[in-house]
Chains A and B, each alone.
Chain A
């Protein structure tokens, strides 16, 4: 398997007309690719190192060099590291070659860039609007640096062109954007024959908040606070990804105590969310008793969070350069005691639910996402591991103190609701175990290192395996220690389209269960 240095040598000799091949770290290779060579380069990476673009970032750098800068972050197979290709797009010809038919995920990033920057991906088969709904003026691209606040929003009343299924008796069920539960808005369009789902398209971005725009010219503190609020249930994961990107940019290493405390915080977040999800999946099978108890455990954990961190959702604990809060001996004893009790109760709940034949019957075989589709769609996180994809950023791109801890990556192969439930169950147990280990091995020392000013115009990424899956933050330093551009990829961005495939040939009343087993974030997706 090629490592970063090996790949550099191969690229040097491959005669691909590349510039500035630079090994930034043992796990990161950077290269400039001429626009017209992008497709060839991507194909080379695909065949030679099985790399896939996990993140595509556009940036308006017209003020600096009268060009747009695009970055393609390819993740190499076998945890070998990443290749970051930067592509320059001249302002007078704002087009770039599309990778849409090679990687479906790339097509979604390209649609996003098309809406937000007005750059046109040539050869893209589906350029319907994605983040900006139709009432946005067509020539308004808010992520351009010179985009002004505009008032001329106008809804022409034209419906969004959903795919239409031809055939007798096929009808459409529209669900959302307003839902019956207290959840965020999203629209699902089912094409249904009787009870069987033939096609599902989802339309998100009803809560497009312009978060990436808000990051522009924010200070580090503002950026951190914003990152914590991207998705309420992933406060730690987003703040951590942001902090790691900033630390990589500033070139600092965090102190060991901070690294272990970060593990504790991230796993606390994973624990309360996974337990709540297990309960919620049981509710959707009609087995409410499991949920009542899961909610009780979640509440216990949230109160523990408040005692440990001063915030039920663990906000305000992290800091670029380390952590902001220390745990005393008493707090550590409190946490270990409570988590042991929660883990024992959780085992009982799981036992009760998974020995109930009626519950099992609802879970097995429902909403199956096969491994090939999951791979091709670049599904990540819990649904990926439930479909037999052995990937976890905590192991593949180690951060915090994970390299020093015996982490077990949970993989199931069935790809159905049952598998996604079991991945959550086992990851929750693993989280409880890791918290115990990290608290036990907690080294003493300082909590944070000071940061120098961020190098202007330089960029780096932070990658964190949150409880939903990997979260990427791409941070570009700006003037006077501000942020010039931040791009966020929540796992939900990659996973929402996969739901449309998992649900095919299932019956309508099973959709809520399948949806719950994915439990994707609207807030993380509709940035």
Chain B
């Protein structure tokens, strides 16, 4: 828009250089240093911990003789969604049950379907009249 133009007019420097993302002076950067989706959503999950009820587990394997030498650390994080457990799942179950029962109508027989169409037309006619 007008802003880049205005910047040019007031004599802003227009050089641009491409370089690595700032990594605090370290040479090697990997995707490991990127923010993850879990991390991004974390503040929200923490604020609404009541709803999400996160389950966290930390598995640490120590050196057999000293707990100050750690061999591996593994972290597990499982978010439970209260909406999913209390609302969507039961709702889904009801719909699935209904759908399963509705399958009885679906015989796979073309003639059968024609009969349904006929019935539907008759019902509609009766309703409109």
A residues adjacent to B (C-beta < 8 A): 100-102, 104, 107, 125-126, 157, 159, 163-179, 185, 187, 191-196, 198-199, 376-377, 497
Contacts and interface: CB of A to CB of B under 8 A. Distances in A.
Interface residues of B, number: 33
Given A166-B74, A169-B38, A193-B39, A125 B26 contact: no
A171 B35 contact: yes
A177 B24 contact: yes
9 contacts: A159-B28, A166-B72, A166-B74, A168-B77, A171-B36, A178-B25, A187-B26, A193-B56, A194-B41
Contacts of A199: 73
B75 A170 contact: yes
A100 B63 CA distance: 11
B26 A100 contact: no
A113 to B, nearest CB: 18
B90 to A, nearest CB: 28
Given A172-B32, A174-B33, A178-B24, A163 B73 contact: yes
Interface of B: 23-28, 32-39, 41-43, 45-46, 56, 58, 63, 65-66, 68-70, 72-77
Nearest to A104: B68
Given A168-B38, A193-B42, A198 B58 contact: yes
Contacts of B35: 171
A30 to B, nearest CB: 28
Contacts of A165: 73-75
Nearest to B43: A195
Contacts of A497: 68
A171 B66 contact: no
Given A195-B42, A198-B58, A376-B68, A171 B34 contact: yes
Contacts of A100: 66, 69
A172 B24 contact: no
Given A101-B66, A165-B74, 17 more contacts: A100-B66, A101-B69, A126-B69, A164-B73, A166-B73, A168-B75, A170-B38, A171-B34, A174-B33, A176-B25, A177-B24, A177-B26, A193-B56, A193-B77, A194-B41, A194-B45, A194-B46
B73 A169 contact: no
Among A102, A170, A179, residue most surrounded by chain B Cβ atoms (within 10 Å): A170
Contact of A194 (B24, B38, B68): B38
A376 B42 CA distance: 34
B66 A169 contact: no
B42 to A, nearest CB: 2
Contacts of B38: 168-170, 193-194
Nearest to B29: A174
B69 A166 contact: no
Given A165-B74, A187-B26, A172 B33 contact: yes
A404 to B, nearest CB: 40
A194 to B, nearest CB: 2
Given A194-B38, A195-B43, A195-B46, A169 B26 contact: no
The 4 closest A-B pairs by CB, nearest first: A194-B42, A169-B38, A167-B75, A178-B25
A296 to B, nearest CB: 32
Contacts of B36: 169-171
A174 B24 contact: yes
B65 A169 contact: no
A174 B77 contact: no
B56 to A, nearest CB: 8
Contact of A104 (B33, B66, B77): B66
A39 to B, nearest CB: 12
Contacts of A164: 73
Nearest to A191: B73
Contact of A198 (B33, B65, B68, B73): B73
B23 to A, nearest CB: 6
Given A157-B28, A168-B77, A191-B73, A174 B23 contact: yes
B41 to A, nearest CB: 8
A194 B45 CA distance: 9
B68 to A, nearest CB: 4
A169 B35 CA distance: 9
Contacts of B68: 104, 107, 376-377, 497
A101 B65 contact: yes
Contacts of A126: 69
A371 to B, nearest CB: 15
A289 to B, nearest CB: 29
Nearest to A201: B70
Contacts of A157: 27-28
B75 A198 contact: yes
Contacts of A185: 25
A187 B77 CA distance: 27
A519 B62 CA distance: 29
Contacts of B77: 167-169, 193
A490 B72 CA distance: 30
Contacts of B32: 171-172
A160 to B, nearest CB: 10
A191 B77 CA distance: 14
Contacts of A169: 36-39, 77
Contacts of A192: 39
A511 to B, nearest CB: 14
A194 B47 CA distance: 12
Contacts of A376: 68
